[in-house]
Amino acid sequence: MKKKFENLTEITDLKTYKAAMAYMNDVIDYATQNGYLREQGSDNEYTREIGRVGVMCADYESIFMEFKHLKFKNPLIISIEMQMKKKALNQRQAADLLEVKENTFSQILSGKRNVSMKLAKRLYKTLKIDPKIIIEFA
């Protein structure tokens, strides 16, 4: 393996970062194809090189790049929305059916408000939401 970036101790510009990432991906591809990464915890020249370059790339990312956090929708909210769609209910109709204020229901669907025990029971009885999902994600 011909090493690149041997004298590099830190990455401070985007061009070098992109080149280092491309190099690291090439090393990973080569090592994978030739079985050098087959065993978990392997210690060889490829794993050490991937680690060395990977740390520099990670340091660059944490200092110079801003990543947005991924947002995942609560499975309970997904279940409610699916049942609303099945029953062809808009938000107002669903709120009425569940006997909650539309504003409260909107806050629940947007994740700004928690589901009360009363509403949890109504979700189960009225919309047939799986109780396991209600318990786990309410």
Per-10-residue mean pLDDT of the chain, 138 residues long, equals 89 96 96 92 93 96 87 92 96 96 95 94 96 93
Q: What are the residues whose beta carbons fall under 8 Å from the beta carbon of 58, sequence distance 6 or more?
A: none
pLDDT at 80: 97
Tokens at 37, concatenated: 């990464």
Asked if 137 and 74 count as a contact pair (C-beta separation under 8 A), the reply is yes
DSSP annotation of 10 reads: -
CATH number of the structural domain 75-137: 1.10.260.40
pLDDT at 2: 86
The domain locations on the chain are: 14-64, 75-137
Task: Tell me how far apart the terminal alpha carbons of the chain are, to the nearest angstrom.
Answer: 53
pLDDT at 68: 81
pLDDT at 26: 96
